[in-house]
Structure 1
């Protein structure tokens, strides 16, 4: 399975293909699991992952919910979490 196929499968499963709808499941970085390797920052196609004061955060104003950061994180510190 290619990376694109994997990401599309996640999007379909979580019903996040429409970028306006994905925010029901925003990506969240679990800081206690994060190894601060920066892979999420390198792979994010929208440059929505930011490093602030030694911690990584996702700017949800620009994030499209593609799931690349979730897939690439070796520590599994990023996941989609059901929002309010």
Structure 2
């Protein structure tokens, strides 16, 4: 199977959408869930990747913006996230 053509949907226990190019489905998924201004939570390194920037642009173009929180450390303590 060519990984470039693979797509899948799982719904147990949470809906998961996977496959090449599925990032374009992110705005519709947010709207389907009733989100008004989604928040992406990731670590500082991933926050700088083009994938995260693309996700923010796609969602912001369809909704009222898209927040980003990247102050997460590996194995965070309660202090890190409060």
TM-score (norm 1): 0.26
More helix by share: 2
User: TM-score normalized by structure 2?
Assistant: 0.27
